[in-house]
Amino acid sequence: MDYKIKGYQPENLFHFFEDVCAIPHGSGNEKAISDFLVEFAKKRNLWVYQDNALNVVIKKPASNGYESAPTVMLQGHMDMVCEKLADCKHDFEKDGLDLIVENGIVRANGTTLGADNGVAVALMMTILDDNSVKHPALECVFTTEEEIGLNGANSLDKSILDAKIMINMDSEEEGVGTVSCSGGMRYAMLKSSQREENTGFVLDIAIDGLLGGHSGMDIDKERVNAVKLMGRVVNNIAKQYNVKLISFSGGNKDNAIPRECNAKILFIKENELKKAHETLKTIQNELNNEIHPTEPNFVLNFAFYNEKQTVKTLCDNNFINAICLAPNGVRHKNPKQGNFVVSSLNLGVADTEREPMCIVFAPRSSVNSLQEDTVQTLDILADTFGFNTNITGRYPGWEFSEVSPIRDAFCRSYEKLFNAPMKIEAIHAGLECGLFCDAIKSLDAIAVGPTLCDVHTPDEHLMLDSLERFYKLLTDVLSNL
């Protein structure tokens, strides 16, 4: 193969990365890359295991003098996100990536690069291949379908592993060690709608232009939740006038902060319309004052229909009451560790137009008992207003540990090599570490990696010198364990 990346050390690391890029390996299409890793291990007479989910585990014995050190797991996922520019002809099922190397950066022509997490695959291959690197016994774990729900890591039989230490390499910022992640789930409150016919004047309300964001990473940014805000507006009107709710819908996904919401309300008495118009203008002004300083594109629009109509309305206020009382946003922070978010939830979807009607949340926490507390709180809410509940897609969190020898080892090596302190962070989103720490009690874990930019987009790129420095750091840590 003609390699494009030149001038970086060790050469093999960069060549293995290019080898990985040459094999299509989108999520759900991992057969070829998985078999390639099995072959790689067999050629080197290494212990290898491949399961039905196509996960691969390769074990390598300790170097001379490292036999008594605890076994170390190196881990990353072999699948990549497949995104391309609209005019790009690339076929992710069949084509290898077309790499472009310039100015110390590698990217792919019109597509994602899959450095997330191809760098981890290449790093593990390099260490498995190079017998001059000093290390304790190694278990290299290559998982599948991480990007579509941590599926490979979830189904892998962890009892085949002896590791006491885990180094996950799916972090995207050089110089940062991640030491905690949140667990998550989708919590749905469901109820079949009871409707009755009523005659009156219809009011349409629309909220739009809010920033939204990721329900984990952005939950501490005080972004306005369109569904919660609409619940407040509708409740405010319902307290002052004789009205019935016709419909309410906002948000698309449990794990995105809702940016938009629409509601339709029926006014029973014609003589209230004029006053209600004034009330809505007041609400509009108040909300603009509150929200525009942080969300300048926020708008609340409303319109009354002039003719009297007969429509189906909900029989009670329980849907709106549940939205108004629903907990939402940050629930706990850790003041001892940089105030990172420990537990939160996002009210992501509310819709009376589905049958059953639904209110859907994405609760997250790195501490499983706090996650349980959120679930119990939501159970009370559901019970109070007559909803059924349904939990799906549950995965465990990875709790911050006060004592972590692997964290100390990374901090020491980083300081020694680069003369600067390593930053230690927690992320409020899912990582595969949670599943391994849940299955292997007292596993000492850290997530690290070189700097990747714009992952999951066609602009994804890797800083080549960052990968070079990361390899130095990783091998230094391994040789000091």
Q: Which residues are catalytic?
A: 79, 146
Strand (E) or helix (H) holding 426: strand 423-427
The pattern of x and - marking residues 115 through 134 that bind Zn ion according to CB under 5 A reads: -xx-----------------
Q: Which is nearer to Zn ion, 116 or 399 (CB)?
A: 116
What is the C-alpha radius of gyration for the chain, rounded to an integer number of angstroms?
26
B/e letters for 83-103, b = 16+ CB within 10 Å, e = fewer, are bbeeeeebebeeebbebebee
> Around Cβ 287, how many Cβ atoms within 10 Å?
18
Q: Smallest gap, in angstroms, from Cβ of residue 449 to Zn ion?
A: 9
- Which residue in this structure is represented by tokens 């881990």? 75
Candidates 113-121, 159-167, 330-338, 470-478; binding stretch for Zn ion (CB under 5 A): 113-121
Least distance (Å) between residue 116 CB and Zn ion: 4
Phi then psi for residue 423, to 5 deg, are -85, 140
Residue among 74, 49, 264, 27 nearest 168 (CA): 74
Q: At what angle do helices 226-240 and 273-291 cross, to 10 degrees?
A: 150
The nearest distance, CB 431 to Zn ion, in angstroms, is 9
Length of the chain: 481
Q: Which is nearer to Zn ion, 178 or 215 (CB)?
A: 178
Site string for Zn ion, 68-107 (x = CB under 5 A): ----------------------------------------
Spatial strand order in the sheet of 72-77: 47-50, 56-60, 138-143, 72-77, 165-168, 444-447, 176-181, 423-427
Scanning residues 14 to 53, which ones bind Zn ion (CB under 5 A)?
none
> Where are any strands of DSSP class E within 192-326?
195-208, 213-214, 243-250, 256-257, 261-267, 299-304, 309-314
Q: Which stretch binds Zn ion (CB under 5 A): 109-117, 223-231, 325-333, 361-369?
A: 109-117
Rounded least distance, CB 20 to Zn ion, Å: 14
CB of 393 to Zn ion, least distance (A): 18
Should residue 151 be labelled a site residue for Zn ion when binding is judged by CB under 5 A? no
Query: By rule CB under 5 A, what count of residues binds Zn ion?
Result: 3
| CB-nearer residue toward Zn ion: 117 or 247 | 117
Task: Give 34 or 343: the residue with its C-beta nearer to Zn ion.
Answer: 34
Closer to Zn ion by Cβ: residue 18 or 170: 170
* CA 278 to chain centroid: 43
Residue with tokens 């790499």: 99
Nearer Cβ to Zn ion (259/428):
428
Cβ at position 461, least distance to Zn ion in Å? 15
Q: How far apart are the first and last CA of the chain?
A: 36
Which of positions 165-194 make contact with Zn ion (CB under 5 A)? 170
Q: How many Cα atoms are found within 13 Å in the side-chain-facing hemisphere of 351?
A: 16
Q: Using CB under 5 A as the criterion, which residues of the chain lie in contact with Zn ion when the complex forms?
A: 116-117, 170
